[in-house]
Amino acid sequence: MDFIPYGRQWIDEDDEKAVLQTLRSSYLTQGPAVAVFEQALCDYTGAKYCVAVASGTAALHLAVASLELPEGCEGITTPNTFTATANSMAYCGLKPVFADIDPVSYNLSPDALAAKVNSLTRLVIPVHFAGQAAEMERIASIAQRNGLKVIEDAAHAIGSCYRDGSKVGNCRYSDATIFSFHPVKTLTTGEGGAIMTNDESLYRRMLLLRTHGITKDAGQMSQNPGPWYYEMHALGWHYRITDMQASLGVSQLRKLEQFKHRRREIVARYNDSFDGLPWLVTPHEAEGLESCFHLYVVNIDFAAIGKTRAAVMQQLHEAGIGTQVHYIPVHTQPWYQQHYGYRQGDYPATEAYYQNCLSLPLFAAMTEAEQKRVINAVRELA
């Protein structure tokens, strides 16, 4: 009996061929594949510019750094996210502040956001949790009223749509949007990430910061004594993605609509199969928001079934089924408590959600038989 993880990649022959072709070419990195991948992401999302990088975390860091916000100011995000979202602000000397989630969508609540904005707030990073876009129309209008920059953490949401039907990543509602291409995400480059933007000056800044803050562009340098010469204009990082990864990304992106179709099909079957279980709440897809569903998160009344979550995870594990918890509220992490004084109880909607959430296996390569096994095992929990 094969173990079914909560998420995994889909790799087929096209992907292998694409990577092999790059391996046999002259460039393993800093070659032509990165620009091809970036253009493909622009074509897919509709954004003007893309900077592909080494990870989703690097994408968040570069996006925040490129805004050049003053140290000591504050940024707001949701506590229901991976720590990297909030960390990206801390890297840049901003204080990460949280605003609670909406208890139905599990996304950043626009009302909670509006209530948290103060004179130090300069940035908001909504996360499109599990793939469903946050309420970007409202978030963008709060941001505009208060002079805040907006970065969308779309690590879960490549392939998803906003309420207006346009694609997440087009940056219609934000200064920049980031993706992650870790293997559990909807499409993968092994490790990898990308930042989308429509702002040319941010784009130029991110390109510079991706590679040590170094330029070789004669038009930007103070002198040009010879072909060896380059100048460092900012304190950047080495956040490049390789050509092997970028070529995998190009071939994965060609399958994104197929992945989306399959993910939505699996979600619909789960929803049907769990309909009527009084101790389980299936995810709510809001009217008009078409999600590419990175995660399938159910809410289980563990008290009602007389089992702890740890016992349920163990029971499913023994049946060969992987599950995960997304997420431990970031403000309850020891580092956040020590550095910023956050406490248990600060974000009650997120904490209540965290008590009962469980992510069941969801990935495009999952077979019908595998899904049937998951459905049966879940139904047998009570």
Ligand X SMILES: *Cc1c(COP(=O)(O)O)cnc(C)c1O
* Residues from 149 through 178 that contact ligand X (CB under 6 A): 153, 155-156
Are 61 and 171 in contact by the 8 Å Cβ rule? The answer is no
Q: In this structure, what token pair is assigned to residue 154?
A: 């779309």
Nearer to ligand X, 61 or 373 (CB): 61
CA nearest neighbour of 58 among 66, 70, 69, 48: 66
Report the residue closest to ligand X, judged by CB.
Answer: 56
Least CB distance from residue 215 to ligand X, whole Å?
A: 26
Residue 100 interacting with ligand X (CB under 6 A): no
Least CB distance from residue 100 to ligand X, whole Å?
A: 17
Q: How many residues bind ligand X (CB under 6 A)?
A: 14
Least CB distance from residue 252 to ligand X, whole Å?
A: 14
Nearer to ligand X, 110 or 131 (CB): 131
Burial of 158 (0-12, 13-18, 19+ CB in 10 A): buried
Residue 357 interacting with ligand X (CB under 6 A): no
* Residues from 20 through 59 that contact ligand X (CB under 6 A): 55-57
Residue 210 interacting with ligand X (CB under 6 A): no
Q: In this structure, what token pair is assigned to residue 267?
A: 């979600």
Nearer to ligand X, 186 or 197 (CB): 186
Least CB distance from residue 85 to ligand X, whole Å?
A: 5
* Residues from 62 through 81 that contact ligand X (CB under 6 A): 81
Q: At what angle do helices 200-210 and 56-66 cross, to 10 degrees?
A: 120
Q: Dihedral sign, CA of 175, 231, 221, 227?
A: negative
Nearer to ligand X, 153 or 290 (CB): 153
Provide DSSP, 260-280.
HHHHHHHHHHHHHHHTT-TTE
Nearer to ligand X, 85 or 252 (CB): 85
In 46-171, alpha helices (H): 56-66, 83-91, 110-116, 136-146
Among 51, 84, 124, 248, binds ligand X (CB under 6 A): 84
Residue 9 interacting with ligand X (CB under 6 A): no
Among 10, 37, 44, 82, binds ligand X (CB under 6 A): 82
Among 19, 127, 289, 357, binds ligand X (CB under 6 A): 127
Are 142 and 148 in contact by the 8 Å Cβ rule? The answer is yes
* Residues from 175 through 194 that contact ligand X (CB under 6 A): 180, 182, 193
Q: In 3-state terms, what secondary structure has residue 173?
A: coil
Nearer to ligand X, 81 or 198 (CB): 81
CB atoms within 10 A of CB 286: 15
Q: Who's near 25: CB < 8 A, 6+ residues apart?
A: 31, 243
Least CB distance from residue 28 to ligand X, whole Å?
A: 20
CA dist 172 and 40 (Å) reads: 18
Residue 106 interacting with ligand X (CB under 6 A): no
Q: What is the 3-state secondary structure (H, E, C) of 192-241?
A: CEEEEECCHHHHHHHHHHHECCEECCCCCCCCCCCCCCCEECCCCCECCC
Least CB distance from residue 319 to ligand X, whole Å?
A: 26
CA nearest neighbour of 167 among 190, 191, 192, 136: 136
Least CB distance from residue 160 to ligand X, whole Å?
A: 13
Q: Which residues bind ligand X (CB under 6 A)?
A: 55-57, 81-82, 84-85, 127, 153, 155-156, 180, 182, 193
